Amino acid sequence: MIMNKIKIIPFEKPIYITRPLLPDKEEVYRKIDEIWNSKWLTNLGYQHQEFEIALKECLGVPNISLFCNGTLALQLACQALRLSGEVITTPFTFAATPHVLYWNRITPVFSDIDPYTFNLDPDRIEGMITPNTTAILPVHVFGYPCNIDRIQEIADRYGLRVIYDAAHSFGVEVNGEKIGNFGDIAMFSFHATKIYHTIEGGALTFRNSTLIERLSFAKNFGFKDEENIVVPGINAKMNELQAAIGLLMLKVVNKEIEKRKMLTSIYRKRLKSIKGIEFRDDMPKVKHNYYNFVVTINEEKFGMSRDDLYKRLKGYNIYTRKYFYPLCSQFQCYRHYPSSSPKNLPVAEKISKKVLSFPLYGDLQIEDIHKICNIVQEATI
Ligand code: T4K
């Protein structure tokens, strides 16, 4: 049967992959007044103190340390745990994950991923351990949790540390346990593109309270007090405006997650009947945060490659993203590592060539999603 194509008009304004959630502007002005009146702008002021308490409660963790961004938080997490040598990590992540290892003079060792979660495959980790391995750095990619029990079991068996890159995972729970409670340390990013943000910002959460002091020295030039500088620390502090935004964002983030959940269900309903487009459902016993809506394109079944669909959507002013392509193991600075060989990473290589993230944010209109799905559907006809 020959179907007539209905002419779909491109979006007038660009539809981006995400738009930041914003707190109430009047409340922001009030916070600015508070900060101006206090004349305290940074260096662990009142907003910072209040935010630390509120965020600790919200994330349900025993200890927390705030940072100016997630990358520096992760970098200092590696230092606080005295990591060295080699650390096993995933190639299917944002550049920051292996880069923080490099900045710590640690060699990132890439291990393959699981085809469903896109996270480190526990069955592959053991084969990558050498006498130089000090830790595993898994990422809960797109907020889908790693196989936490298996990873911890491997780490315990080999005496390794575990740092979770939980940059995408604000609000995620596994078996009723908040995601920041797993591993030795978990890192959250509060960048503007994240579901919950402080414009730029980050946090580390951890059970071992002795890390509090180490991290506070590390992020504040090593100052113990005015006259004692105990380590060669750096400046990675969160400022008062970031902390104030963080406090206000706590009031609106749950509603954002609810909206994204609803929008995700529309994508799922619309795309499930399209051959060659695959996506993940919610995982059992997981509270998701609906950070992204990610599909994989099976070119043979769909009749068009991922790259052509990306271009086609761009033609309609829709900006999907190939998160995460290229793999970190293919970056010029890492591709010479033995673990970067595509033979070592067959699943990650395959997924990165098929994956496409669709626009998803609370202000995205239901009719926009229908229009995006109509364009995708039309591509198959
Ligand atoms: N680990 C992982 C696994 C991560 O994903 C990240 C960050 C980190 C560590 C490091 O955490 P941070 O140090 O960043 O706290 C973005 C973000 O810049 C980056 O934070 C994030 N991951 C990554 C996944 O995405 P880009 O280069 O894709 O962002 P960009 O500028 O292209 O923005 C995407 C879209 O968002 C734009 O097309 C429009 C929209 N947007 C963006 C910004 C910045 C806005 O509407 N308003 C904005 O202010 O990296």
H/E stretch holding 109 reads strand 107-110
User: Any idea what the Cα angle at residue 355 is, between residues 128 and 107, rounded to 5°?
Assistant: 25
State the distance from the centre of ligand 1 to the C-alpha of 188, rounded, in angstroms. 13
Q: Is 70 in the pocket of ligand 1 (CB under 6 A)?
A: yes
Residue pLDDT, tens place only, 344-367: 999 999 999 999 999 999 999 999
Task: Report the nearest-CA residue for atom 45 of ligand 1.
Answer: 19
How many residues appear in the chain?
A: 381
Q: Cα(221)–Cα(232) distance, rounded to whole angstroms?
A: 6
State the distance from the centre of ligand 1 to the C-alpha of 94, rounded, in angstroms. 9
Q: Is 325 in the pocket of ligand 1 (CB under 6 A)?
A: no
CB 139 within 8 A of CB 119: yes
Q: Is 90 in the pocket of ligand 1 (CB under 6 A)?
A: no
Please give the number of the atom of ligand 1 that sits closest to the Cα of 93: 3
Q: Is 264 in the pocket of ligand 1 (CB under 6 A)?
A: no
Which residues sit opposite 135 in a β-bridge? 87, 161
Q: Is 192 in the pocket of ligand 1 (CB under 6 A)?
A: yes
What pLDDT was estimated at residue 1?
Answer: 44
Residue pLDDT, tens place only, 121-160: 999 999 999 999 999 999 999 999 999 999 999 999 999 9
Residue pLDDT, tens place only, 149-169: 999 999 999 999 999 999 999
What pLDDT was estimated at residue 3?
Answer: 52
Residue pLDDT, tens place only, 197-252: 999 999 999 999 999 999 999 999 999 999 999 999 999 999 999 999 999 999 99
What pLDDT was estimated at residue 380?
Answer: 81
As a whole number, mean pLDDT of residues 31-47 equals 97
**How far are the Cα atoms of 33, 74, 101 from residue 230, in angstroms, in the given order?**
36, 21, 23
